[in-house]
Amino acid sequence: MKDLIQDWKNRKQTAKKRHTKFVKRLSSQKGKKLDKQGDDLDREVFQEINCLDCANCCSSIPPMLNRADVSRIAKHLGMKTAAFQEEYLRQDEDGDTVMKTTPCPFLLEDNACLIYEYRPRACREYPHTGQEEFSQHLKLHAVNSRHCPAVFHILERMMEV
Ligand code: SF4
Ligand code: SF4
């Protein structure tokens, strides 16, 4: 089987403009049909990509945390919320709460997540290509195709249809 992660590394830069254009075109097709196609391709591509061979999102994009994430993870780590915030979190330029450092401090050497069961909602939902939400995040997909091999290949396969 083709190594989709290596293929993405080889082609992600040259696909940048193509994917941005394609996503713009898709915005006129937003809706259930596109979401269903997103769901199908999300399942298909994630059967061929193991996130544990990649972890590029955890290495390069600081995830956003909401209040529930902060208290759940702090509790799991046996820390007071304020201490957890102080040690691990910062406000980004948009005022959102994100992990202070990349790679994520909870990313382990084997690419597993130390707090997997308790991880932020943003990590659970990334890369927003399945769960009937593909068309809600079109602009994000154009950016994410450079960060996530799965998004890259989902867009590539959509372009073939
Ligand atoms: S919390 Fe876990 S899943 Fe989320 S970025 Fe960090 S290592 Fe990755
Ligand atoms: S970047 Fe995409 S393929 Fe890689 S670990 Fe994250 S979700 Fe999985």
* pLDDT top residue among 31 and 55: 55
What's the CA-to-centroid distance between 159 and ligand 1, angstroms? 30
**In this structure, which residue's CA is closest to atom 2 in ligand 1?**
113
pLDDT surpassing 90 at residue 129: yes
**In this structure, which residue's CA is closest to atom 1 in ligand 2?**
148
Nearest ligand 1 atom, CA 63:
5
pLDDT surpassing 90 at residue 29: no
Domain extents for the chain? 1-8+35-45+54-62+126-161, 64-108
User: According to the model, what pLDDT value does residue 161 have?
Assistant: 78
What's the CA-to-centroid distance between 120 and ligand 2, angstroms? 15
What's the CA-to-centroid distance between 78 and ligand 1, angstroms? 18
What's the CA-to-centroid distance between 13 and ligand 2, angstroms? 17
**In this structure, which residue's CA is closest to atom 8 in ligand 2?**
51
**CB distance 123 to ligand 1 below 6 Å:** yes
**CB distance 107 to ligand 1 below 6 Å:** yes
* Contact residues for 116 (Cβ-Cβ < 8 A; gap 6+): none
User: According to the model, what pLDDT value does residue 30 have?
Assistant: 82
Task: Report which residue type is found at 154.
Answer: I
User: According to the model, what pLDDT value does residue 128 have?
Assistant: 94
pLDDT surpassing 80 at residue 1: no
User: According to the model, what pLDDT value does residue 80 have?
Assistant: 98
The mean pLDDT of the chain is 95
Instruction: Give residue-wise pLDDT tens across range 77-112.
Output: 999 999 999 999 999 999 999 999 999 999 999 999
User: According to the model, what pLDDT value does residue 31 have?
Assistant: 86
pLDDT band at 2 (very low <50, low <70, confident <90, very high): confident
User: According to the model, what pLDDT value does residue 130 have?
Assistant: 93
What's the CA-to-centroid distance between 80 and ligand 2, angstroms? 30
